[in-house]
Amino acid sequence: MFDIYINNVTIKGTFDILANGSNYREVIWDFMANGSLNLTLSKASGSAFGPICNAYEILQNITRVQETNQKNVEVISKVRNELLVYNQANKLLDTRSGDPCVPHTWLGLFCETYNGSIIITDVDVSNNEPVGQIPESLTSLPYLKFLDEKCDTGKNISAVLIGTVASGSFLLTVVVRIIVVCVHRRKMRPQGRFDGKRRQVVENVVIFLPSKDDMSIKSISIEPFTLEYIETITENYKTLIGEGGFGSVYRGTILDGHEVAVKVRSAMSTQGTWEFENELNLLSEIRHENLVPLLGYCSEKDQQILVYPFMSNGSLQDRLYACLNEYFHYSGLTYLHTFPGSSIIHRDVKSSNILLDHSMCAKAADFGFSKYAPQERDSNASLEVRGTAGYLDPEYYTTQQLSAKSDVFSFGVVLLEIAKSYFRESRIDEIVDPGIKGGYHAEAMWRVMEVALSCIESYATYRPCMTDIVRELEDALIIENNASEYMKSIDSLTKSNSNRFSLVLDKRILIPSISTPTETSPIMTQAPSPPQPR
């Protein structure tokens, strides 16, 4: 016999579990507790043995704070009913009812929270071994990204359903439009488009890919290559064209004759599986003319390989530093930009990550460190600091709080990479390509300088957003294209340094030091003074 206490209050005294002739007795009571509940079983006075607790069960009411998106509920219920037509003996399918995500998710479903409601993103009913075709109603799930289904023919097929989010919250429309500010306007040569085996991401289209048992990544719309194929197109990694934090990059030629760059992760790489999967997942969902597209990947025998189109004109950094050491071989500088909705933050914007194709079209590359921009309501946006010294936002470095303005700072450094040693003394002629001197408008050039300076403000709150940067650079381009109307004022503008630009110079903004590509660039090591009201 024993006594039962809750929070030192006697519930049952001298409780005899054998009193009814069995070793089981049910005890029910109501009890109110504030914050904690302490259940004590104590040997009763005169009892030879004390109680032994074999098991206990505590039930708690859970308040449902969110419900699954109603359209998702209707569609998945319809899918269940369509599956039951050919799988009436499947008891598991027949027992599914109610909300598919809360409080407990149906077996085989994966749900996420998005814009205040719960959505279904993955469907895996392969364990149920259903027969028949995949229900067409699945295409009505707007956020579905992955579907795994085993049919009765024994074929294992991974069906990847790419659902583009209507609001654009997960979509990158970034990096930069080419703006030629200090060059003669010239016609660009037609840019050849790669017509290899890459998959175009579209809304609610089912694409079937071979099953990859060794891949943990979902939502892949990129071509998987075998290791044997990689070795063939690179001639066993014959031509090394570059090296980076991920590993070595080799030149190759695929079967249709197009040249590719094959990035192979090194065993000594500072980047690992996370960066590989991150870049693979991001580039499987986005396409933009100013992003280097991912053509394929290989994850076989502990190898992690990414395949891109070959950028025949190298990187912007190669061009910039070649010009400093020799002379300009090209018409001018182009800078890349477009404005995002809710963007992906690149986190490693620098001149060596801006590649130039055969038509001198600039394309941003290397998305291994990229992250989705934290939402305004996200109070925990702290992330491990990633980036390159010299291009790294000092506020991000000191606070570890990531925002889109961190990319703005890095972009400003790229703008200043050549000009930083000249503009303080207003020697604007020394910034411009010698081949076009006299063929540009000084005011357009000052506009670019002002944009660059505003990008590298010490505090992110004072930096412009990407949309404003584009607008300013486009204004500069308009001035340049109409330079003939202002040519008479070039000399006076150059001598006076422009009123707008002089105001910026008075702020004495610290310009990050940029070293040669082979050296480590320093970053600000001291936190700046707090911003003052303006």
Distance CA 201, CA 220 (A): 10
Distance CA 167, CA 232 (A): 42
Distance CA 70, CA 467 (A): 35
Helix, strand, coil share of the chain (percent; to 5): 25, 20, 55
Asked if omega into 103 is within 30° of 0 (cis), the reply is yes
Residue 8: both structure tokens together: 């030192």
Tell me whether strands 371-372 and 9-15 are parallel, antiparallel or unpaired. Answer: unpaired
User: Nearest-CA neighbor of 309 among 171, 189, 198?
Assistant: 198
148 is catalytic: no
- The rounded Cα 531 to chain-centroid distance in angstroms is 30
DSSP for 155-220, written as a single string? -EEEEEEE---TT-TT----SEEEEESSS---PPPPPPPP-SSPPPP-TTEEEEEE--TT----S-
Torsion angles phi and psi, residue 221, rounded to 5: -120, 25
Distance CA 226, CA 207 (A): 19
Give first-to-last CA distance, the chain, whole Å: 77
Distance CA 44, CA 40 (A): 12
309: left (phi over 0), alpha (psi -120 to 50) or beta: beta
Residue 263 assigned as binding residue: yes
Tell me whether strands 247-253 and 296-300 are parallel, antiparallel or unpaired. Answer: unpaired
Residue 482: both structure tokens together: 């109409």
Beta carbons within 8 Å of 199's beta carbon, 6+ residues apart: 207, 221, 222, 223, 284
Is the CB of residue 223 less than 8 Å from the CB of residue 296? yes
The angle formed by the CA atoms of residues 80, 82 and 83, to the nearest 5 degrees, is: 65
Amino acid letter, residue 184: H
- Residue 158 CB neighbours (<10 A): 19
Torsion angles phi and psi, residue 288, rounded to 5: -155, 145
Is the CB of residue 156 less than 8 Å from the CB of residue 147? no
Beta carbons within 8 Å of 70's beta carbon, 6+ residues apart: none
Catalytic, out of 3, 122, 348, 366: 348
- Residue 183 CB neighbours (<10 A): 18
Residue 172: both structure tokens together: 């990158």
In the block, tokens 């936190």 appear at 527
Residue numbering of the annotated binding site for ATP = 263
Residue numbering of the annotated binding site = 263
Active site residues: 348
